[in-house]
């Protein structure tokens, strides 16, 4: 119960500014060039900076933040997201994203929380987020492997 309160409390303001926070999340994590190339789509990315500010990349940042938002609002019944997350894992398998990358995104999520929350970023809060994100990744990875 305490975990859920920590998560909800910290997400309240962050969740309202999904794109900027999501961008911090993705730009700080050491995107290796191979990963970045998955976001190219039709846009030509000549530099890492171009990629990070391309519309497709920003769209995806929003998508990731919306998944986290959904998990936060379904903390009491995360299993209701199971089908959605299995399917999401499967889609990433199809576009060539490894399950290891899901974990890296989790590390960036924690980093973003740390940057944004400052003093409010405590060990129990970190653990609460880690627990929730691990569940999300576990289901996505199961879908990936199917
Ligand atoms: C779709 C890449 C991690 C959520 C996609 C697509 C790509 C992609 C190429 C398809 C095109 C698009 O819709 O933009 C990646 C890479 C990741 C990553 C390279 C890790 C480095 C994640 C994570 C989440 C997520 C961790 C959620 C927690 C989504 C969603 C979609 C999507 C919601 C749309 C799926 C749909 O069309 O139904 N991702 N992704 N992605 N991704 Fe990711």
Q: Whose CA is closest to atom 13 on ligand 1?
A: 60
- pLDDT at position 41 is 54
Residue 129: pLDDT band (50, 70, 90) is: very high
What's the rounded Cα separation, in Å, for the pair 50 and 5? 38
pLDDT in tens, 70-96: 999 999 999 999 999 999 999 999 998
Could you count the other beta carbons within 10 Å of the beta carbon of residue 78? 15
Site to probe by mutation for ligand 1, drawn from 51, 58, 60 as the one with most ligand atoms within 8 Å of Cβ, is 60
pLDDT-derived band at 30, boundaries 50, 70, 90:
low
Q: Is 29 in the pocket of ligand 1 (CB under 6 A)?
A: no
What is residue 87's predicted lDDT score, i.e. its pLDDT?
A: 98
Find out whether the beta carbon of 112 lies less than 6 Å from any atom of ligand 1. no
Domain boundaries, the chain: 2-145
Name the architecture of domain 2-145. Orthogonal Bundle (1.10)
Q: What is the mean pLDDT of the segment spanning 33-40?
A: 68
ipTM of the complex: 0.95
Interval between CA 51 and ligand 1 midpoint (Å): 15
């Amino acid at each position: 119960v305490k975990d859920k309160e920590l998560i909800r409390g910290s997400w309240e303001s962050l969740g309202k500014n999904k794109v900027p926070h999501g961008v911090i999340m993705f730009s700080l994590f050491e995107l290796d060039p191979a990963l970045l190339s998955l976001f190219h789509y039709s846009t030509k990315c000549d530099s890492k900076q171009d990629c990070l500010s391309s519309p497709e990349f920003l769209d995806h940042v929003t998508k990731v933040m919306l998944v986290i938002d959904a998990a936060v609002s379904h903390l009491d019944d995360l299993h209701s997201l199971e089908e959605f997350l299995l399917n999401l894992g499967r889609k990433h398998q199809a576009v060539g994203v490894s399950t290891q990358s899901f974990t890296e995104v989790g590390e960036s999520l924690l980093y973003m929380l740390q940057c944004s929350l400052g003093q409010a970023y405590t060990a129990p809060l970190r653990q609460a987020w880690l627990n929730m994100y691990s569940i999300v990744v576990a289901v996505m990875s199961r879908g990936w492997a199917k």
